[in-house]
Amino acid sequence: APLKSKRVGVEQLSASPTSITSEAKDILAFLGGALIEENMSDRANEAITEDDTSRISRANILIDGECLLAAARLLRCVQDKSLYTPQHEQVMQVAEDMQESSQDLLHDPDDSWTRQSATSASAVTESNKNDGQRPTSIYYKISDGAKLECRVDCLVESSLLVPLLAVLNETPLYATWIPSWTVPISLGISESKQLQQVSRGQQVVHISCRVPWPLAARDVVLRATAADDIHDHQAIVVRMKTLSVQDDPIVPEPLPSVVRADFEGAILFRPCKKEEKDGEHAIDAPTNPDSTADEIPDETKQVMVSFKMYMDPHLSSIPSSVINFVTRTVIGTMWNMLLQVAEGVRDGKRPQHLQAIEERPELYQWIEERIQVLLSMNDAKGEDESQMATSTTARPCPNCDGDVKIRATTATQQEAKTAIDGSSNVGDLDFIAYLQT
């Protein structure tokens, strides 16, 4: 009741600190636009030192909102590990993989990678002629004779981001746009289907591939998981990883004539920084996660898309001619096709994708909303402190090594108010977890 009335202030908290929950204290601190002052430091620490049951409850809220990285950071503070469910264990493992992949993609490839090209991806069309070029760098490396790794860094206009996510998400339509080749070798997707929609941001996918004779056909079963890490790191992360029959009962046994390949991948979406935008080959500049972008008009706003994959087709070796074809032709062609299909979705020219989007309005409205938050938060970083009413401080966390850093902005205050009124998605409460992380 006091939380919903929004009339309980810091002074009333000081007078009756036990009258409301620690979660209410956290939200009220945000609504007040500042942290509890020094004379309330004991009660601030008390709010941080909440019980494990409350931490688990908050983590579940974050998981429901696809904020897996924030949920995992909160779950690691739980002292009683017996409270973990299998879902919690999986979230922490996926979050660890996402964190490692994100850190890797935030830094330039080292000397072990071969640079395949630095081009402007996708042709300039009537619909994108004002968007500018899309600087793209492609890297690859071959290990143990047959294991392929590739990486793509590409700047895309912000208007392409939701369509791009839609193309990646609609796995049953992969076979309709992923290129196939018959010369110089036979290569392509023969079938792609979704085995399970686990949650709004997670699905299990089965993809079958055609490969050159006399090799046996390959297939792969993946769990693709998307996480909203916007409030903490201004990013959306997608992690893809092979599932085996032992991992999940939904995974089918491979056919006798098919060899199951191993695959891992990650995609990182984040607002581009100034050094990545400026210059002909600016995306080769070292990437600093703490740097900020100059404010740019909405119509020219760009997002850095970084993609990395590893694939083991379970071959002892691959002929150099095949390696050259894959690294010089296949990777770049598939990436360009992905962008072209996303353009078609944006411009209303891909009826199958548009129908799939129309059939799931809740999902794609949520994606649109989160993208807008991502872009608006990037703008907010450069605004004047008086306009944003930003307060940042740090306090020691008794449950973890290190300080707790908390930002309270006009945007987060408004999100808290909307969430309390019950008119916002519960995932927008992810900022609450700052006090636990």
pLDDT digits (tens, 9 = 90+) for 80-126: 999 999 999 999 999 999 999 999 999 999 999 999 866 555 544 44
State yes or no: pLDDT of 269 exceeds 70: yes
Distance CA 47, CA 52 (A): 12
Beta bridge partners of 220: 207
Length of the chain, in residues: 437
pLDDT digits (tens, 9 = 90+) for 239-253: 999 999 999 999 999
How much of the chain, in percent, has pLDDT values that exceed 70?
A: 65
How much of the chain, in percent, has pLDDT values that exceed 90?
A: 49
| Superfamily (CATH) of domain 115-123+132-276+299-386 | START domain (3.30.530.20)
What is the DSSP code string of 165-207?
HHHHH-GGGGGGTS--B-SSS-BEEEEEEEEEEEETTEEEEEE
Max avg pLDDT among 99-113, 394-408, 409-423? 99-113
Distance CA 160, CA 165 (A): 9
Longest dimension (CA), the chain: 79
State yes or no: pLDDT of 130 exceeds 80: no
Question: What does the block give as tokens for 51?
Answer: 């019980």
State yes or no: pLDDT of 412 exceeds 80: no
Distance CA 306, CA 154 (A): 6
Residue 374's pLDDT band (boundaries 50, 70, 90)?
confident
State yes or no: pLDDT of 395 exceeds 60: no
Per domain, the residue ranges of the chain are 115-123+132-276+299-386
State yes or no: pLDDT of 397 exceeds 60: no
Q: What is the pLDDT of residue 389?
A: 39
Q: What is the pLDDT of residue 376?
A: 83
Q: For the residues 1-28, what does the mean pLDDT come to?
A: 49
Nearest of 431, 433, 415 to residue 423 by alpha carbon: 415
Q: What is the pLDDT of residue 271?
A: 86
Residue 20's pLDDT band (boundaries 50, 70, 90)?
low
State yes or no: pLDDT of 380 exceeds 50: yes
Residue 276's pLDDT band (boundaries 50, 70, 90)?
low
Nearest of 428, 141, 193, 195 to residue 311 by alpha carbon: 141
Q: For the residues 262-289, what does the mean pLDDT come to?
A: 65
Nearest of 161, 119, 135, 188 to residue 332 by alpha carbon: 119
Q: What is the pLDDT of residue 379?
A: 62
Q: What is the pLDDT of residue 354?
A: 95
State yes or no: pLDDT of 266 exceeds 60: yes
State yes or no: pLDDT of 141 exceeds 60: yes
Q: What is the pLDDT of residue 22?
A: 56
Distance between start and end Cα atoms, the chain: 27
Residue 26's pLDDT band (boundaries 50, 70, 90)?
low
pLDDT digits (tens, 9 = 90+) for 180-236: 998 888 899 999 999 999 988 999 999 999 988 888 999 999 999 999 999 888 999
Low-confidence winner among 17-26, 152-161, 276-285, 360-369 (lowest mean pLDDT): 276-285
DSSP H or E segment with residue 42: helix 41-48
Distance CA 24, CA 47 (A): 9
Number of CB atoms found within 10 A of residue 184's CB: 12
- Which of the two residues, 39 and 171, has the higher pLDDT score? 171
Beta bridge partners of 408: 391
Contact 331, 116 (CB under 8 A): yes
Q: What is the pLDDT of residue 109?
A: 92
**Mean pLDDT for the chain?**
76
Contact 294, 382 (CB under 8 A): yes
Distance CA 292, CA 414 (A): 23
